[in-house]
Structure 1
Amino acid sequence: MEFSEVVESRRSVHQYADEALDEETIEGIFGRVRHSPSSYNLQPWEFLVLTEDENRERLRSVAYDQEHVTDAPVAVVVLGNKDPSAHADAVLDDWVNKGYLPNEKARDAVMESIDGMAALPEEERRIWTVRSTTLAVSALMNAAWDEGVATCPMGGFDAEALVEEFDIDAEQYEPVMLVTMGYPDEDAADVANERKFRRPVDEIVHFDEFDPVDSTQLPEETPASADD
């Protein structure tokens, strides 16, 4: 698809066809996700991809029993590494090798800054990793839809239960989001129906000064509906 078609036609889908996603398709999607931007290019994201029925049942048990976790052939647990320095050596070596940094002294200065971030309180490191990791989630949904694979981002889950259920180091990783993936059912209302309301550009964009619009009414021609 053209990029504009991808972003304008993508929907959050709850109804999936009874068709598996092969490993090659999944890896191809994540091959594009890996190009997502991140703070200092530190790429703090990790993805636990659940394809086995029993594992998606386990995930559903910590996701408030939401049906599409198991209806979809794939569910992804999106994790953010809370240690900014985790991949810093490889990233900064690459910067030096490719001329983004002029020398080792400059590399050391950047590393000092990253080490300072790693020493911040946990809450600040959680915010840091969520900011970068959600960029990759957006790329995941668009890359999937470009292959005809529907997704649904999910914030409804018990984070403490999730890390315990899947033996994830909660000191190191922040559960950021869940994403279901699969080919949409041909009767999926999320895809077939008219797109839900989106706020107009002139209401969400503020040039040079912030003056939010107090909008409580939907346009008359747009059906009143929750966002997707």
Structure 2
Amino acid sequence: MTNHIEALREIIETRRSVRRFTDEEIPREVIEECLRLAILAPNSSNLQPWEFYVVSSENERKQLAAACFQQRAAKTAAVLIAVVGRSKSWKENAQKLLNEWPGDIPPAVESYYTKTVKLLYTQGPLGILGFARKIMMTVVGLFRPVPRGPFSKQGMQTWAAKTCALAAENLMLALKAHGYDSCPMEGFDEKRVRKILGYPSDAFTVMMIGAGKGAADGIYYPRMRFDSKHHVFEV
């Protein structure tokens, strides 16, 4: 097996959040390849609760930059990509997986996507089924390990956001491998972003990513990380 650690190390160590970009455009084929790699990210039950809104037109970029509080990473980006979570797409995607399964569907797979997934993620009207499941799991959990969520709309958003964050990292590393830079942003007006991009009702913005060729003054400060002893623990 080929060892790619040196290439991976270089990409990870040189990827920085760039706050200012040049006027150079990113070729469309590069964006498409980076997005293809983004959705190869691991995700919960392969239900892929992500969407990516690629905004390159000047008018929409200006509107989004305003919604991102005129951050330079948004104002100067060649492309803005909204990484969007879907809290209710799991049911449609579960069926799509079965419809597109290559060959005969193993019984365990069919059972998982027709029964287990519904049990885990259905919240019901006003979240009543999720609440009932929370009570049931709390009681059963006194005696054995059980799933501790998601039990609410907020829990489903957290579930989707975890997956989207994995894809976003793939996307930014892929951009760096192609020689382009990026900046993930949490600073934005969610309501205005939703209006500009026209999301489905259950969609929410996990992060905005500005992408382009980093300017010479695009990195503001040195990278700082705490010593791993503060974050890594042997158990």
Measured against the shorter chain, the TM-score band is 0.7 to 0.9
The answer to whether the Cα contact below 8 Å between 1:75 and 1:178 also exists between their aligned partners in 2 is: yes
Matched, 1:207 2:234: yes
1:164 matches 2:205:
no
C-alpha contact (below 8 Å) 1:58/1:165 kept by paired residues:
yes
Change (3 A) 1:51 1:157: same
Higher helix share: 2
Q: Which residue number in structure 2 is paired with residue 90 of structure 1?
A: 96
Q: 1:129 aligns with which of 144, 160, 163?
A: 160
Q: Matched residue of 1:68: which SS?
A: helix
CA distance in 2: counterparts of 1:70 and 1:86, whole angstroms: 36
**2:106 corresponding residue in structure 1:** 102
- 2:12 is matched with 7
Paired positions, count: 201
After TM superposition, the score normalised by the length of structure 2 is: 0.78
Counterpart check, 1:151 vs 2:178:
no
Alpha-carbon offset, residue 26 of structure 1: 0.7
Q: CA RMSD in A?
A: 2.0
Checking the alignment, whether the CA contact within 8 Å between 1:150 and 1:181 is kept in structure 2 is: yes
Preserved contact between residue 117 and residue 125 of structure 1 (Cα < 8 Å): no
Question: Does the 8 Å contact 2:21/2:218 carry over to 1?
Answer: no
CA offset digits 1:160-180 (Å, max 9, x no partner): 2211222212x2211110000
1:70 aligns with 2:59: no
- Tell me the CA shift for residue 206 of structure 1: 0.8
Rounded to whole Å, the distance in 2 between the matches of 1:182 and 1:204 is 32
Q: Residues 203-225 of structure 1, C-alpha deviation per residue, up to 9 Å, x if partnerless?
A: 211111xxxxxxxxxxxxxxxxx
The question of 1:142 aligning with 2:173 is answered yes
Amino acid at match of 2:183: C
Identical columns (%): 25
What's the counterpart of residue 33 of structure 2? Answer: 28
* SS of aligned partner of 1:168: coil
Gaps of 5+ in 1: 209-228
Separation of aligned partners in 1, 2:103 and 2:9? 32
Higher RCO (CA < 8 A, seq sep 6+): 2
Deviation by residue 1:31-70 (Cα, 9 ceiling, x = unmatched): 2112100000111111111101111111012112223212
Indicate if the aligned counterparts of 1:53 and 1:70 stay in contact, CA closer than 8 A.
no
Question: Following TM superposition, by how much is the alpha carbon of 1:87 offset from its aligned partner in structure 2, in angstroms?
Answer: 1.1
Runs of 4+ in 1 over 3 A off after TM superposition: 92-95
- Where does the alignment leave 5 or more consecutive residues of structure 2 unmatched? 1-5, 124-151
Are the counterparts in 2 of residues 77 and 177 from structure 1 also a CA contact under 8 Å? yes
Q: Please state how far the C-alpha of 1:196 moved relative to its aligned partner.
A: 1.4
Residues 5 and 98 of structure 1: CA distance in aligned 2, closer, same or farther (over 3 Å): farther
Report the equivalent of 1:45: 50
